[in-house]
Amino acid sequence: MKITLRGVRGSIPAPGPDTVIYGGNTTCIEIETDEGDKIIIDGGSGIRALGNDMLKQLPVNCSIFITHTHWDHIQGLPFFAPLFIPGNTIDIYGSFDPVYMKDLKTILAQQMEYCYFPVRECELNASITYTNLRDKQSVKVGSATVTSILINHPVLNFGYKVESHGKVFFFTGDYEQPENIYEPEHDAYDEYQSLVEERIQDLNQFIDGADVVVADSQYTNEDYQTKKGWGHSAFDSVIEMAGAANIQSLYFTHHDPTRTDQQLDTIYQDIMERADLPETAFHLAKEGTVIAL
C-alpha cells in the first residue's frame, strides 16, 4: 500500500505563512494498493487537489470512506472533480445518523443544496453509490479489506482499518478516549468504569500490531483541560494507545487550526525527549507525506 496524507488540519482549513510546513487542508487520506485500487478516507478540503490529480487518468474508480459528517471531513466533497464526470465510478461509505435519522446520501446531498452550493448532488454525472456501514463491518476494495469500528466522538464516528497483503493501516477519524463521567464516590462509577475500559480495550485489540496508525491528537494536556468532551485526543492519550496496541508507527494528526508550524515542532521535540516512550516510531503528520507499506 501507498498512503498519502492529503490533509492533516483539524476543525477548519488554516492556510497561511504559519502552516506551510505541515499544511492547512482538513482531513483527507489517499490509499493506493499494490494493484492500483484507490481508497480515500474523508473528504476534507485536502480532497480537492487529490481529485484534480486523479483526472490525469480517466476513468476514475475509487471508494471514499467517511469517518463522520462534521464539515471538516466532508467540506471538500463538492469540489472533488471526479464526481462531475460521466464514466467515473465512486462508491461512498459512512454512517447513518441515528439522532436526526438521516442516511449518508441525505447528509452529503444537503451540503450541496442551492443555498450552499451551485450544483446539487442530483446533478453530478459520475456513477455514485452510498452505503451506510455498521460497526465492525468489512468492505472489500480490490485486494484490500476496509473495516469500520465505532469510536468516541460527539457524532457517530468510525475509525477505519485497511488491510492488504498482510499490512495494516488504521485511521482514528476524530477520537477522544472515553472517560468516566462519574466521580469515584458515585454509586455508578464502578459499572461505568468497566464500560470505559472495555471500549478502550476493544479498540486496542482491533488495531493491535498495526503497521501505521494516523491518530487524532489535536490537544496538548493543557488544552485538553478546557476541551474535554469536544471529541479530540491529547498527545499523551494517543501515546498511551500506541504502547497498549503495539503500534509500529504513529502519525499525530488533526492539528489544531491555531497551531503554527513552530509550535508543532516544539511539541514534537518535547515528546521525543521523553524517556518513557513506547517503542513506536512517532511522527507529526504533514500534508503530502507518502508512507509505503
The bridge status of strand 144-151 relative to strand 157-164 is antiparallel
The pLDDT tens digits for 49-106 are: 999 999 999 999 999 999 999 999 999 999 999 999 999 999 999 999 999 999 999 9
In 122-236, where do the E strands start and end?
Answer: 127-132, 138-141, 144-151, 157-164, 167-171, 212-216
What's the confidence (pLDDT) of residue 207? Answer: 98
Choose the weakest-confidence range: 9-13, 52-56, 153-157: 153-157
The pLDDT tens digits for 212-223 are: 999 999 999 999
- Per-residue confidence at 290, pLDDT binned at 50, 70, 90? very high
The pLDDT tens digits for 255-283 are: 999 999 999 999 999 999 998 999 999 99
The pLDDT tens digits for 167-205 are: 999 999 999 999 999 999 999 999 999 999 999 999 999
Domain boundaries defined on the chain: 2-292
- Per-residue confidence at 228, pLDDT binned at 50, 70, 90? very high
CA-based nearest residue to 217, from 240, 193, 245, 195: 240
Class of domain 2-292: alpha beta
